[in-house]
Structure 1
């Protein structure tokens, strides 16, 4: 890996490779505008869908509602507890406080989802511009990693932290010769950490990799000390503020799982298209390495992130997929390391990959949103404050991300219900259930099935503690609980009123 210490030298080299200075400047400005347009385009799925079609999003929205209620809703107060903690996982939560007052709960959540890919795109351009004073093919290629598996699953805080981590790297480079840089970086590090601790870790790797590329020799210890302004969020972590110490590699199949998260680094909605996209990105990275067009200032960070993907446990601090998140981050950073001047058609081809992928995501989100609009109509038949047991049938093997695995949380959002798909584990989440005699939270809503498996809802335990059973899945169950009466149905879902259900808003109407 080569390390270009002076952006002006890179700019001069790129200018020389073009037919003239004017042509180079014109191409540079065109690439800059292309990056801005792609950043705006990255928001498209969240614009066309009435609600974000992310796996975890409804449960996050339910958590936001309880968080912002402050005990005013008697049903939410009856069912849930919320304990604020200053921890490294608060990005969207902190944004929701002012935004909900301005635009309402659901609109605020949708705004945050739309803003994150835009910010990530702008952060990619900020890093590229800080390093090279131009927008190159690597940065345009990096856009394909914005809608990562982590983002599609609904890891809002982590995705936001990655955007801010990239902005911090850009600032670190731009302020390199300013003696007061530390005064900016200390609060910036806390901002990234508050968004998500994993993003703070990625930020540290980015800064260390940049400093390591400028080392005088392999024995030079200064790269280990220069990022010192970023270390201060470690203090609340060592004090145990809002932390969970659980660490796990999973129960079995660690090597197979690690291989899966590598080839699924660009997983979205079509296996063939996603793996083909990954092959294209990896091929360009390998080609850049082969012709020595790989910038060590970010290339070392990409290598470290790849290694961390392989060695980091799956679960850290109570969060899942700690390692999977890093695989796409490593790809994004590796793309930023590509320092390869190309003509306009090269930039266009790089942009075409992102455009094609965002088009697929937009179409899928629009279609899933139409299905979601049908599903959510079931809540018109649910009295406010009811107990709803959601059962989501999920194939054991599927490539695409299912948007309905936490859809039952809309019962909390719209009907202040007690519902069983929320992230509400004590000592892991700030949200928890008041009822502790039985489990009524994620993942009790999931029914994993194979093609030959029969789904018998008479055995569905959460239904024993509920007034309504809300089933969502492509496979029809063979039986429902005894005495249950279906009151609403769509082709792939139904809502059933269970025996002995009680309308808490009108107790005398219970049956």
Structure 2
């Protein structure tokens, strides 16, 4: 421990990596994460519904104690000072930074020093769940990693009573941020405590695992209080959402290949392959060994990943969210054996830093391209008045294309910026504070009514665009916003006046409330091909 630290083991290096990992988020005004604009719309309702009573005609917002309130609570003190959009951006930027510090801190506590191989895990700060915009989940996981590192440090220092006192409220706070982070912290803490208790009491025959198991469970009791909160949350009459799709092995294999999914499939899969090759090399190369602590943690997380269904309490992709973190724990569990020279360790660290840098460059470029598409789409907002009622239809294909358009919840920015009604909000009682109550919208009141396709997709609720245009209740809306739409019959937009266009994106004003089938074809107005404003009335 008295030897000089190498460059990748210093505090300045950890700080530099925490700053560097935020670079892709510096430029975009709205972080281009799939679900984030929809969450921002909910935050706006949360902050403004008290002073804007007409929002009560569209949405019902009720505070309740649920395990999914991370950013929802943080914006309360920060948004009035910084503004909602800047507040959200800064919090989102903090998530990958905290993920990096958590991974490196865990490595330091487990190995004594940060091993060179740990640098390969840093790109997982931009894992697929983060790209999807599961921001409360991602924040809770970033916090859980740092809390686990602190858990290890307090044990190493022998401050077990202090640890118990501190983690009783901390575990509850983490559960409130998001249940998943609390659960993962429990798995990590239990596996680490199991190894620690076994090593404290082992004898020549290898130790008493049963005794260690009991003592580990007792040691983790300070983390158990949120179980009572969980029972209270999920037992209410207001709770909805099913748990389904167990042991979908095809999907689970896909999640493993998608841990770094962003825009370019070949690049993302190749990058994930590098991580798995690192693990394989770690198992076969005598110069590298595994930490028993983190190896057991990774195994426990893998078992949970295999057991978890795809849908839990109505929330999809539950198992997918765990895959990158199980991989990250496995990677940071590797360390060079004592016989590895400084030159060999420095080579590993340099390669890891190059890998991290290459992923950052790719993510920065990808986010810049997504930001451009956001900017083009959002120019339509200047032609929509405040408090308008807008039905949006965002096109996608039945096939799960690797690169999403990330426009699926951009309509939520209408609500966030213009206090307009949008049909992209989630409405699951018990899963979040907001539910829709705009009954005039009928089947076009909430997510996923904004997602449309060119044909009926097997196993999905999405409507074909032709069906959506023909059946949405025109008397409930003032505007129709098409984003990246598939082809449609112009007869379906009879009575709609185009007022803005950018490429395939187009904004219509509803001038005739009758269904398109009831409007004579002679009244159909030609659609100009010009970009930008077409007419403004």
CA distance in 1, matches of 2:472, 2:347: 58
1:465 is aligned, of 448, 454, 476, to 476
The change in CA–CA distance for 1:427 and 1:187 in structure 2 (over 3 A counts) is closer
Structure 2 partner of 1:254: 248
The change in CA–CA distance for 1:133 and 1:270 in structure 2 (over 3 A counts) is same
1:428 aligned to 2:440?
Answer: no
Displacement of 1:476 in angstroms is: 4.1
- State the SS of the aligned residue for 1:39: helix
CA distance in 2, matches of 1:204, 1:329: 14
The runs of 5 or more residues in structure 2 that have no matched partner are: 199-206, 338-343, 458-462, 514-536
TM normalised by structure 2 equals: 0.84
1:415 aligned to 2:418?
Answer: yes
1:304 is aligned, of 300, 304, 311, to 300
Question: Mapping of 1:351-370 within 5 angstroms?
Answer: 351-370=353-372
Displacement of 1:331 in angstroms is: 0.7
1:323 is aligned, of 319, 338, 341, to 319
1:337 aligned to 2:349?
Answer: no
Contact 1:454–1:478, Cα closer than 8 Å, also in 2:
no
1:87 aligned to 2:82?
Answer: no
Structure 2 partner of 1:200: 182
Contact 2:380–2:500, Cα closer than 8 Å, also in 1:
yes
CA distance in 2, matches of 1:97, 1:396: 38
Displacement of 1:29 in angstroms is: 4.4
CA distance in 2, matches of 1:375, 1:464: 25
1:446 aligned to 2:441?
Answer: no
CA distance in 2, matches of 1:161, 1:282: 25
CA distance in 2, matches of 1:381, 1:28: 52
The number of equivalent residue pairs is: 481
1:461-507 CA-partner distances (Å, limit 9, x unpaired): 36563211000016443334321111000013110011347xxxxxx
Structure 2 partner of 1:48: 27
1:248-298 CA-partner distances (Å, limit 9, x unpaired): 3339x9232222112222212111111111111011112223346111211
Displacement of 1:311 in angstroms is: 1.3
Contact 1:266–1:275, Cα closer than 8 Å, also in 2:
yes
Structure 1 partner of 2:217: 224
- State the SS of the aligned residue for 2:500: strand
CA distance in 2, matches of 1:280, 1:365: 22
Structure 2 partner of 1:372: 374
Structure 2 partner of 1:7: none
Structure 2 partner of 1:488: 500
Contact 1:141–1:350, Cα closer than 8 Å, also in 2:
yes
Contact 1:186–1:229, Cα closer than 8 Å, also in 2:
yes
Structure 2 partner of 1:234: 227
1:109 aligned to 2:104?
Answer: no
Of structures 1 and 2, the one with the larger relative CO (CA 8 A, separation 6+) is: 1
- State the SS of the aligned residue for 1:239: helix
- State the SS of the aligned residue for 1:265: coil
The change in CA–CA distance for 1:458 and 1:167 in structure 2 (over 3 A counts) is closer
Structure 1 partner of 2:310: 314
- State the SS of the aligned residue for 1:146: helix
Contact 2:393–2:483, Cα closer than 8 Å, also in 1:
yes
The change in CA–CA distance for 1:175 and 1:366 in structure 2 (over 3 A counts) is same
CA distance in 2, matches of 1:29, 1:272: 32
2:122 is aligned, of 119, 134, 143, to 143
1:268 is aligned, of 231, 237, 262, to 262
TM normalised by structure 1 equals: 0.88
Contact 2:243–2:311, Cα closer than 8 Å, also in 1:
yes
- State the SS of the aligned residue for 1:142: helix
CA distance in 2, matches of 1:451, 1:323: 27
The change in CA–CA distance for 1:279 and 1:66 in structure 2 (over 3 A counts) is same
1:183 aligned to 2:165?
Answer: yes
More displaced, 215-224 or 226-235? Answer: 215-224
